[in-house]
A = this chain, B = another copy of it.
């Protein structure tokens, strides 16, 4: 602190929340445990287990996963740098999903009890948690729409569009980002088999909407890809939460 070390949370959605006052940000910084590095395919929270920490992904990819009785796997969320992996642990002892890294990753833990206590003392922190939860809501809702009403090709295209925005990877109408998912894992996100992911991905490549090189995903023409699947980024609310006069009012009270 004395050395003005940059908090490992910098860049996380929690840290960057516009609902936080400076002293609230600092309170959060003092509550987190030291960042640590974990390997790929490591459970941060095992499925069905209880946990006392919120995990913030600082670098790398992770996912929520759940296994159905008949062995099928579903990934109900992809967690990118800045995301909180298990915000639900704030309010619930046991979750019906696990959290696991997909790549090597840097992770910060925030003890859940401290987080709650901070929320009770700092309105900005409490509202930030609500904001984060509602943001997840928007993404989950969009995934439901995708799973319910889109074709496989459109679902895949839509997912790539979403990731491109969430990773802030777009420039000059194109996008390029490191992409660690196997086709099996893409299938587990989209409710498809890896075989079909493969075929559909080839279609997108044939239409020059997608290119892959090594483990990099390249979207040469984001506008066309978006149009192909009806992607509208507004649900990601990259501009942050709504601000209102009432917020001003309570600020100045």
Instruction: Give the interface of A toward B (CB within 8 A).
Output: 64, 66, 68-70, 72-74, 76-77, 87-88, 90-97, 112-114, 116-117, 119-121, 123, 126-127, 129-131, 133-138, 140-145, 147-150, 188, 190-191, 230, 232, 234-235, 237, 241-242, 244-247, 249-250
Contact = CB atoms under 8 A, between A and B. Distances in A.
Nearest to A192: B148
13 contacts: A68-B150, A74-B148, A87-B134, A91-B131, A91-B135, A92-B138, A93-B242, A96-B234, A120-B123, A121-B123, A129-B130, A136-B137, A149-B191
Contacts of A135: 91
Contacts of A121: 123, 250
Contacts of A150: 68
A250 B76 CA distance: 34
For the complex formed by this chain, how many copies does it contain in all? 2
Contacts of A245: 113
A228 to B, nearest CB: 11
Contact of A246 (B69, B117, B137): B117
Label chain A's interface by main secondary structure.
helix
Nearest to A93: B242
A116 B68 contact: no
Contacts of A77: 141
A70 B77 CA distance: 26
B144 A76 contact: yes
A158 B232 CA distance: 31
Contacts of A114: 246
Contact of A134 (B91, B112, B143, B241): B91
A119 B113 contact: no
A151 to B, nearest CB: 10
Contact of A123 (B76, B126, B234): B126
Given A73-B149, A119-B126, 16 more contacts: A69-B230, A74-B148, A76-B144, A91-B135, A92-B237, A92-B242, A96-B138, A113-B246, A116-B244, A119-B123, A119-B130, A126-B130, A129-B130, A140-B144, A143-B144, A148-B191
A68 B158 CA distance: 13
A137 B138 contact: no
A92 B240 CA distance: 8
Contacts of A241: 91-92
